[in-house]
Structure 1
């Protein structure tokens, strides 16, 4: 789960017995995610406090409202009062560092940073390490979908459908 927020979907997947890697860069949401994992006594969720992108390094996270999701943006475009400096990595690097040989389902909800996350896992896409993808596409949906579908199709992923801003794809 990339953009795990407080863990709603992570908890559901873990309840079904899946090993869940829950990535959440927002420190407030990450603390709530860890608390939810602890309260529900799940040992099969690995929470990771980092942002995924198309490169490694530092980034900036807009904390728009503590009760709402955040967004990654360049500091030069900031209009928010609360900006947090965060570490970023690529999904390829994360998959390698965790020693994963496959990812059965990858859910991405990263508030407008979808294409950058997917660009950061091109090696995994090329090798078909990721079987299925669920990508929540944020506005402007039409513009973002074009780049996302082109990238996935270039690695021979089949787009199964797009419903209410959520793209479903799988390896061919």
Structure 2
């Protein structure tokens, strides 16, 4: 065991948190160390881990542990339904952890998921198979405001996003992928709609606003690219006009000292990420 991991093991608070909250999920102590020390540069090569005694595939260790904590420990997608077979649409399923969570909590749920990154999509299918959840429909496509092809910048992890092909520095890495209009799927009661699509949420929500009355519970992760105007107010207006109340919490601590750090922000990235929970009341 490295000196870093030995030191962490001796920290009572850290050890307590790992044992109480994460050990039961299958996360190893080594994986937890990479996460605890915020070692985001753990590579995006596909490897294997255990999740609730099932062998699954995953990539970057930091984001894998962070996602397990967020989804299975903090349960950010927890909801109740008066149906024993709720209909769930998940936009941005990544390696399938959210789908696994939904199915574990709602075994009879009808679930439709979308994942645009082909490599991540295949990893997701593998993980659903490991859990025996082969009745979940997952499409290898991006959700968007229209059907067709769209420019997509993959990262073989959770940061792949729709881009303008003219964006400086990314053109050679951009792929053309299939896109589907989400609004066409919002034609019936949807018990839970999750939208986590790395900065394209407002474009999609604008197009969907006439059908949001079909949605009972809505989760949106809002991403604010630092170089573009912030559009949170419009997003919240769409939710309010669709009859939702909402609750907001930080999805990530992008700036510890915003008054200072905003001055030197440069390059791709977000200055604000929020989890928005919208519900009928």
State if a TM-score over 0.5 links the two structures: yes
Match of 1:93 among 181, 184, 188: 184
CA contact under 8 A between 1:62 and 1:84: conserved in structure 2? Answer: yes
Distance in 1, Cα, partners of 2:100 & 2:231: 28
Counterpart Cα distance in 1 of 2:112 and 2:132: 15
Partner of 1:139 in structure 2? 224
Q: Which residue of 1 aligns with 2:215?
A: 130
Instruction: Give RMSD over aligned pairs.
Output: 1.9
Of Structure 1 and Structure 2, the greater strand share is in 1
Q: TM-score, normalised by structure 2?
A: 0.54
Tell me the residue number matched to 1:61.
152
Contact 1:25 1:49 in 2 (8 A): yes
Q: Is this contact kept in 2: 1:55–1:88, CA < 8 A? A: yes
1:51 to 111, 119, 142: 142
**Structure 1 stretches lacking a partner, 5+ long:** none
1:155 matched residue in structure 2: 242
C-alpha contact 1:106 1:133 (8 A) present in aligned 2 = yes
> 1:3 is matched with which residue?
92
* Post-superposition offset of 1:119: 2.2
Partner of 2:190: 103
- Secondary structure of 2:277's aligned partner: strand
Q: Supply the distance in 1 between the matched residues of 2:185 and 2:190 (Cα, whole angstroms).
A: 12
Residue 36 of structure 1: CA displacement?
A: 0.9
SS in 1 for 2:230: helix
> Which position in structure 2 is the counterpart of 1:35?
126
TM-score, with normalisation over the residues of structure 1?
0.86
Gaps of 5+ in 2: 1-89, 251-273
Q: What is the CA distance between 1:154 and its match in structure 2?
A: 2.3
How many Å apart are 1:49 and its aligned residue?
Answer: 1.1
